[in-house]
Structure 1
Amino acid sequence: MTPPDPESLRLLVLVGELGSIGAAAAELQVSQPSASKRLSRLERQLGLPLVQRTRRGCTLTAAGVMVCDWARQVLAHVDGLMNGVRALRAQQQATLRVAASMTIAEYLVPRWLSQLRVALPDVHVELDVANSVAVAEAVRHGGADIGFIETPTPPEGVSVRFVTRDRMIVVAPPGHPWTRLRRPLTATELAATPLIVREHGSGTRETLHRALTEVGAEPVTPLLELRSTTAVRNSVVAGAGPAGLSVLAVATDLAEHRLVEIPVADLDLRRPLHAVWRAGLRLTGSAAALLATATRTGD
């Protein structure tokens, strides 16, 4: 026996309460003939007479009264289920999980979120800051609704959209020997110098490494390997050594002469910044709104 559908049970309960198929049909906003057919189908499905029709209306049979009592219990559970689902959906729609690589998270995401909140003031944002590889993994496995990465080549298994372009530069503290050069540094000289770098998986590190290897200069072992852009920047300011960083991260330091940009000949350190989300899904709601904000700001 196929279980009856909830709407047929709801119709039966209303007929028992209102004493009329027409009144029950009006309550459910369906036609009376449609309601009558549904009740007949329910009786055939259960193999029981449920409704006794008279000229004055209709009443439930003895079997109909029992089925109606059970139907009320079933419908209470169905209504509880749907109320719970609606609450979960409302909670998910009101929470936007964002993952962003560190440079983007520190220097671009705050502006994007500020603009997003103007349009969607009730959205609660959870921001996870990690390197680009970890961001892609979070998106791929459903840990974030949308991510932003800095790697030159977008990862596989995610949907990708270009947001804007960033430029990396080589920086050194004032007084470093490179600051006294009267010519641009060569890529070979840069690759032969131990630098302060980010950890493996960082888009900043990958961009610099790829740019050097593309011109045939293999980087030597780093001087320091640190897990945040801020830590790299602070180490350079403190005089530990040079590094390659996004111009976003050091613009203020350059303006206030805490760091010096070191020109490098024939080395392209530009990089695209991308939004990523789970492959096969279409962004909707607050995630789509954030992507639109990021691309509009980037343009």
Structure 2
Amino acid sequence: MIEELKTFIAVVDKKSFTKAAIAINISQPSVSLHISNLENYFHTRLIERSNKQRNIFITAQGDLLYKRAKQILSVLEETKEELLQSDQSPCGTLRIGASMTIGEFLLPSILSEFMKSYPNIKLDMTIENTEHIYEKFKNRDIDIALIEGTVPVENYIYHNFYKDSMVIVAPVSFQYDKGAELKTSLSNQTWIHREKGSGTGENLNIFLNSYGISPKNLITLGSNYAIKEAVKNHMGISFISSLVVDESVKHKEVKIIPLKNQYYRYFSYLIHENNLPKAVELFLERLHKNGGNI
């Protein structure tokens, strides 16, 4: 049954019997047999096949089995690793997904200390925007999600672990009336922001709306580094984590426009359940110790 479940996951992921066979290194007839065995076992159709277009369609029952199969295989792998490890030398694989700001500026120092303490734990890291990390978390492709944006409320554990300061950053040559209202000073400017699905982009939209600021133009860039460089090179202004620009401010490459009230947001982690793999438990301990500031 385990091999059949692995085959089914591959078929859903690849959306093709042929591509699934190549991915898991078995013959296409074996793929078809595995799917047939599952359908017979569960007494339901899992995949609809279109002979003319050679397309496959996952049924509602198939979608449910896909999610459960990933959970089953994940638990089996975690159990295997825990049975092999000893308390003196924890091992296993830690699958972390982090949104861009966390993954680029906060996580490296935490992981460095973690790896020194637990050299036998393997790390599998994914760094993307909040929306993509959340999707991987829902599909159980990662064990823990570290995010900076809001996500739908579902059946998982959600916990804030870091209070992040957001700042308005501008080119060093940027001139504004310090006595004017923020709305007046910062409207009709070119603003640089992140793509849809980004926690930083979400916070920029909230900030602009809360102050009634109307940008003259919006430039979308796909990384924090790109935004910092764009501001540095006089392309516009932005609203971004202080973690991204602290060094550039120190070197007078960009400057911060002061706010009357400091603007904060929270970094959060998501986990699936309380009965966690040992590697995840150990990482959360390190996260709260080295990363937490709330």
Q: What TM-score does the superposition give when structure 1 sets the normalisation length?
A: 0.63
What displacement does 1:222 show?
4.5
Distance 2:253 2:102 in 1: 22
Question: Would you say how many aligned residue pairs link Structure 1 and Structure 2?
Answer: 209
What displacement does 1:131 show?
0.7
Are residue 273 (structure 1) and residue 264 (structure 2) matched?
no
Q: Which residue number in structure 2 is paired with residue 161 of structure 1?
A: 159
1:215-263, Cα deviation, whole Å (9 max, x unpaired): 4x16547431011111111111111111111100100000110001012
CA contact (8 A) 2:187 2:216 kept: no
1:81-109, Cα deviation, whole Å (9 max, x unpaired): xxxx7898339962211110111001111
CA contact (8 A) 2:192 2:218 kept: yes
Distance 1:160 1:290 in 2: 16
Q: What TM-score does the superposition give when structure 2 sets the normalisation length?
A: 0.64
Q: Which residue number in structure 2 is paired with residue 106 of structure 1?
A: 104
Correspondence 1:130-145 to 2 at 5 A: 130-145=128-143
What displacement does 1:187 show?
3.7
Q: CA RMSD in A?
A: 2.5
Q: 1:256 to 1:227 in 2, by over 3 A?
A: same
1:27-65, Cα deviation, whole Å (9 max, x unpaired): xxxxxxxxxxxxxxxxxxxxxxxxxxxxxxxxxxxxxxx
User: What secondary structure, in the 3-state scheme, does the structure 2 residue paired with 1:97 have?
Assistant: strand
Q: Which residue number in structure 2 is paired with residue 292 of structure 1?
A: 285
CA contact (8 A) 2:190 2:235 kept: no
Q: Which residue number in structure 2 is paired with residue 200 of structure 1?
A: 196
CA contact (8 A) 1:208 1:269 kept: no
Instruction: Specify every segment of 5 or more residues in structure 2 that has no aligned partner in the other structure, as ranges.
Output: 1-75, 85-90
Distance 1:156 1:188 in 2: 37
Identical columns (%) = 26
What displacement does 1:294 show?
1.3
Matched to 2:253, the amino acid is R
Matched to 1:190, the amino acid is L
Q: 1:247 to 1:185 in 2, by over 3 A?
A: farther
Q: Which residue number in structure 2 is paired with residue 89 of structure 1?
A: 80
Correspondence 1:257-268 to 2 at 5 A: 257-265=252-260
Q: 1:88 to 1:295 in 2, by over 3 A?
A: closer
Q: Which residue number in structure 2 is paired with residue 244 of structure 1?
A: 239
Q: 1:160 to 1:87 in 2, by over 3 A?
A: closer
CA contact (8 A) 1:275 1:291 kept: no
User: What secondary structure, in the 3-state scheme, does the structure 1 residue paired with 2:208 have?
Assistant: helix
Higher alpha-carbon Rg: 1
Counterpart of 1:146 (choices 124, 144, 147) is 144
Are residue 283 (structure 1) and residue 284 (structure 2) matched?
no
Counterpart of 2:227 (choices 232, 246, 253) is 232
User: What secondary structure, in the 3-state scheme, does the structure 1 residue paired with 2:190 have?
Assistant: coil
Instruction: Specify every segment of 5 or more residues in structure 1 that has no aligned partner in the other structure, as ranges.
Output: 1-84
User: What secondary structure, in the 3-state scheme, does the structure 2 residue paired with 1:177 have?
Assistant: coil
1:130-178, Cα deviation, whole Å (9 max, x unpaired): 1111111111110111111111x44322321111100110111111223
Q: 1:184 to 1:277 in 2, by over 3 A?
A: farther
Distance 2:131 2:119 in 1: 30
Distance 1:98 1:236 in 2: 30
Greater displacement, 131-140 / 218-227: 218-227
